[in-house]
Homo-oligomer: A and B are copies of this chain.
Amino acid sequence: MSFTPVQKVNAYEIIVGQIEQAISDGTYGAGDRLPSERALMTDFGVSRATVREAMRVLQATGVIESRPGDPRGPVITAFSPRVLEKSMAKLAQLDSVSRVELLQFRLLLEGHASLLAATERTDEELAEIARRGEDIADLADQPDVRFGERVNRFHQAIRRASHNQMLEICGNVVGGVMAEMIDRRLTSETDRSSRVRTSARDARALVAAIRDGRAQEAAAISTGNIYRYYADDLSSEETRRLATMMQSYGAQM
């Protein structure tokens, strides 16, 4: 006979649990309204402070949204990736996660996003990708627009065309974090204009590969582009850790 460690559960946790349960078993669905705080406190037999703490947790977890004054009560929200993005961004910014790891992960995501986009994209999505690709070239005349963000928007369109939400969301997070890193570092003006030129050219090649359904090539171009962007800053050990991955995509280092 084994004992299980005692773990007392706070009152508000029970409320959170019950409401999450009610949502997961279909009692409540997205768009439905929860009773008001005052109603919940009689339902659960607790004080309003306790109900409110439960509401805060549900709100922070992205389960509900509430607005003062609305007589209809808090609304159950469809899942929003906001929470996921935040906690993933926290992971990415963790000191223990090295540059190489982040870059590896990014190559992996962008590579497969391009791969899938080449076969799954609709015509509208292709047009959107092409448009954002051309937006990169326009950066030459817009010195105040952030470079990393603009390029990330291009990749974002590709990720969306992959028709894989997990890939899309994770890619958005990692891409966002790294775009910010770029914009923080990119100060030199001449450096910028040269990067704009090569990025615009690379983007066109990638768009063409996706347009023609050349999936493997798209992945190779995509990962190759990203790799070359960071190549100068990498140590030989870091380069080694990327070699196998790049090879698997058939990309040039």
Whether A130 sits at the interface, judged by CB under 8 Å, is no
Are the CB atoms of B215 and A166 closer together than 8 Å? no
Q: CB-defined interface of A203-242 with B at 8 Å, one 1/0 digit per residue?
A: 0000000000001100100000000000000000000010
Whether A195 sits at the interface, judged by CB under 8 Å, is no
Binding site secondary structure of chain A: helix
Whether A145 sits at the interface, judged by CB under 8 Å, is no
Whether A104 sits at the interface, judged by CB under 8 Å, is yes
Whether A108 sits at the interface, judged by CB under 8 Å, is yes
Docked CA distance A118–B248 (Å): 13
Contact for A91 among B59, B81, B115, CB less than 8 A: B81
Most chain B CB inside 10 Å of its own CB: which residue of A79, A96, A119, A216: A79
Are the CB atoms of B164 and A105 closer together than 8 Å? yes
Are the CB atoms of B87 and A167 closer together than 8 Å? no
Are the CB atoms of B49 and A169 closer together than 8 Å? no
A217 to B: closest C-beta gap in Å: 11
Are the CB atoms of B91 and A165 closer together than 8 Å? yes
Contact for A84 among B59, B84, B165, B244, CB less than 8 A: B84
Are the CB atoms of A120 and B167 closer together than 8 Å? no
Whether A75 sits at the interface, judged by CB under 8 Å, is no
Chain B residues whose C-beta falls within 8 Å of the C-beta of A62 in the assembled complex: 87
Chain B residues whose C-beta falls within 8 Å of the C-beta of A115 in the assembled complex: 244-245, 248
Whether A137 sits at the interface, judged by CB under 8 Å, is no
Known A102-B166, A105-B166, A165-B97; contact A79-B53, beta-carbon cutoff 8 A: no
* A residues apposed to B, CB below 8 Å: 12, 49, 52-53, 56-57, 59-62, 79, 81, 83-84, 86-88, 90-92, 94, 96-97, 101-102, 104-105, 108, 112, 115-116, 118-120, 163-167, 169-170, 174, 215-216, 219, 241, 244-245, 247-249
